[in-house]
Amino acid sequence: MPLLMILTFLSAFLLFQIELIIAKLFLPNYGGSYLVWGACIVFFQAILLGGYIFAHYFLRRLGAKSYLKIHLWLLFIPLLFFPLRDFHLTFSTYSLLLVVDIFWRLTITIGPVFFVLSTMSLVTQSWLAASVLKDHNNPYRLYAVSNLGSFTALLTYPFVFEQYLTNTDQLQIWRILYLLLVAGNLIAWSIIKIDSRRLESTDGVTVSPVSMGQILGWLCLGAAGVVMFMSVTNIITYEVAPVPLLWVIPLGIYLLAFIFNFKKNPWCPAWIVRYIGPIIGLQAMMYFLAQKHFLPVLIVIALLCGFLFLICMYTQHRLIDTKPLSSTHMTLFYVMISLGGFLGGILTSWIIPLISNTLIEYLVGLLLVGLMISPTASRFSLWKICLSVVIIAAAFFIWPQFVKEYHLWSFVLLWVAIGYAFLVLVSAKNVLVTVLACIIIAAPILESIWQGEHFLLKKRNYYGIYEVYDNKDGIRVLIHGTTLHGIEFIDQQKRRFPIGYYSPLSAIGSLLIDDVFEAKRVGVVGLGTGTLAMYAKPSCPIDYYELDGDVYQLAQDYFWYLPSAPGEVNVLLGDARLQLKNAPDGAYDLIAIDAFSGDAIPTHLVNRDVLKEYRRKLSPQGGLVFHITNRYLNLEPVLARIAADSGAYIAIKDVGDQGLNMRSIWCILTWDDDRFLKLITRENWEPLDISPADQGRIWTDDFSTILPIINMGELAESLRVFKPLTW
């Protein structure tokens, strides 16, 4: 039994490790897009489903004993592909549709090994059920072990593997562990005895068929859990704190709920099942409260993740509670859970971003949970149901228009009212589902009410959500997630004046006006609203490199900087690292890197290897300037280490809020003595001097980690100034 547990744990650990490693390797080749992780997740779910179906079919057809022989041969097939081969993904263009290209590359690299690993959990559980071991009657406990392995991989990757090892080192360790897994399976085959009468297709045992209702229930519960954890990840990314390290928390919570419910003695507090109605209602309310920005970031994250844990505990409890009574249907049980997860991933990552401009997948997940609530035996009161619906309508439509800032009693009243209303609706499941569906339909209107803005445009694509609106000060604003991308005067007489992060008072504005680098051509990575176009001159064109074509369309249709530019402005669509290769060497006297959309850091644009490429495109006296304004990540040590390694001078300039100038921090690298002297004497740039102990390991294409540069003080500051007992 310990050997089967070790094999199950190790296979799940390797499965999740290779997910994280390969996704990180793929990110630079596709511009560091969120789409890459979403596409990888769906691919992994698709292969997992394929592995489950394969194991289910042949286990039923051949029986456990015969299938185990096939399984042992399958373990050796991946050795011909990814595990024992050097793997290097170079930056290159792709001719296929992006998601198709990702699927193809994943298939030919880790497809075989991922397929084999995806069958391991079913194999070990069937192995146990067909064995003579005393625990053969409860093979589901190994599923808890499997999720523990996945959870361990998820938890250790950012804190251990990514923190201290290069991508190459991670792959080498992974290969060694895979070989140990193969050896462990061979040992297990030689010592674990199989009772041929168990789980064989010819055993003659009459087993009650599984109803269609059970199958659809497993499918829906499997989808609900995946939709919920992925949608909470999206909310944390777009609405709260776009810190990549936080993305692992929702997935970890999802796995933890599996561990608690599928272990030898399942654990799920009875009150979670009893109060699932209020939990759903309060979680729906949190979706809109997060957009109000009343509460500190850490509190919002804690509430979102806390409610996610309760929802996942409920869905996983329902799964183990409705599991098949016979081990004969165990593989079908897992196939349907996996199919539900795959469909949930497709819905959340691919479909909803194309048909909705809001994060309604979060509410869709709650609707799926609502559909799976067990009907109550108690009769419902019609007048209580009507009162509850009125309360919910008032809470979602009226409350946000009267409560403009945090007040303790307004929150207490809101939460008590929502909790009571949804507790009543649980007794009338159809009404509960109808109310949730109405909230989903009204979500665009509700978001406008809760945010207090009338949006000229709200657009969502695979790179995030873009919002354009006019504020009360006569300024047009472009927001991406929680990040301001640019602002512009609406007034026709003023709209040519650059403001915000790029005003004449800003570091980049004064740098271009004073023309320290005597620029004849400027390159800018990241378009935003195109504000820097106003610094173009007939003698100094500006070339923009923009990954997202929708951003270019927004800048053209809703802002006036690009069409009003006083000089030539060119916009080159595609990943900057790929597009810059087409520029002549020494083409630019100044290159500005401003591609940190949503506060997330595209590490492939900030490391030692890409710096060499930037330098080739700079003139000998040129400069490389980075926009590093970021609430949660401090890039100064990263750039200082890269500058020291390349022999560059480095300086920083932090200009605070001054009228229509918004605070921005810029960091510049140059290899020219005279230019650097002018920067620090005439332009008030400050030399950046960080001790080697504070710099950490240098970022390269093979190594990067954001853990040491997270600004926890910024996250905690909102807690310090928050007064939770404000009356």
Grouping H, G, I as helix, E, B as strand and the rest as coil, residue 152 is helix
Task: Evaluate whether residue 527 is within a structural domain.
Answer: yes
- Residue range 609-636: average pLDDT? 91
* pLDDT tens string 406-459: 888 888 899 999 999 999 998 888 999 999 999 999 998 998 899 888 889 988
Task: Evaluate whether residue 83 is within a structural domain.
Answer: yes
Query: How confident is residue 94, by pLDDT bands cut at 50, 70 and 90?
Result: low
Are both 194 and 216 inside the same structural domain?
A: no
Are both 441 and 535 inside the same structural domain?
A: no
Q: Is the pLDDT of residue 245 over 90?
A: no
Residue at which a domain ends, from 199, 220, 253: 199
- Residue range 601-625: average pLDDT? 91
**Are 601 and 635 contacting, i.e. CB atoms less than 8 angstroms apart?**
yes
Task: Evaluate whether residue 654 is within a structural domain.
Answer: yes
**Are 89 and 29 contacting, i.e. CB atoms less than 8 angstroms apart?**
yes
Are both 515 and 563 inside the same structural domain?
A: yes
- Residue range 313-320: average pLDDT? 94
Q: Count up the domains in the chain and report the number.
A: 3
Are both 23 and 83 inside the same structural domain?
A: yes
Structure tokens, 511? 């740098």
**Are 626 and 666 contacting, i.e. CB atoms less than 8 angstroms apart?**
yes
Task: Evaluate whether residue 703 is within a structural domain.
Answer: yes
The percentage of the chain sitting over the pLDDT mark of 70, rounded to a whole number, equals 89
Are both 195 and 228 inside the same structural domain?
A: no
**Cβ atoms within 10 Å of 225's Cβ, excluding its own:** 28
- Residue range 670-694: average pLDDT? 86
Q: What is the pTM of this model?
A: 0.85
Max avg pLDDT among 183-192, 576-585, 590-599, 664-673: 664-673
Task: Evaluate whether residue 679 is within a structural domain.
Answer: yes
Are both 61 and 189 inside the same structural domain?
A: yes
Task: Evaluate whether residue 468 is within a structural domain.
Answer: no
Are both 620 and 687 inside the same structural domain?
A: yes
Grouping H, G, I as helix, E, B as strand and the rest as coil, residue 376 is coil
Q: What kind and span of H or E run contains 488?
A: strand 483-489
* pLDDT tens string 175-208: 899 999 999 999 988 888 876 555 444 344 455 6
Q: Is the pLDDT of residue 37 over 80?
A: no
**Are 552 and 620 contacting, i.e. CB atoms less than 8 angstroms apart?**
no
Range of the domain at 652: 494-718
What pLDDT is attached to residue 725? 62
- The CATH number assigned to the domain holding 173 equals 1.20.1250.20
Residue at which a domain ends, from 141, 167, 199: 199
Residue at which a domain ends, from 199, 220, 252: 199
* pLDDT tens string 69-92: 888 888 888 887 665 455 555 545
Q: Is the pLDDT of residue 659 over 60?
A: yes
- The CATH number assigned to the domain holding 561 equals 3.40.50.150
Are both 176 and 57 inside the same structural domain?
A: yes
Burial 403-425 (b: 16+ CB within 10 A, else e): eeebeeebbeebbebbbbbbbbb
What pLDDT is attached to residue 202? 38
To the nearest whole number, what is the mean pLDDT of the chain? 85
Are both 533 and 680 inside the same structural domain?
A: yes
- Residue range 281-294: average pLDDT? 89
Task: Evaluate whether residue 224 is within a structural domain.
Answer: yes
Are both 279 and 364 inside the same structural domain?
A: yes
Are both 277 and 355 inside the same structural domain?
A: yes
Are both 169 and 229 inside the same structural domain?
A: no
Between helices 361-371 and 297-321, what is the axis angle to 10°? Answer: 30
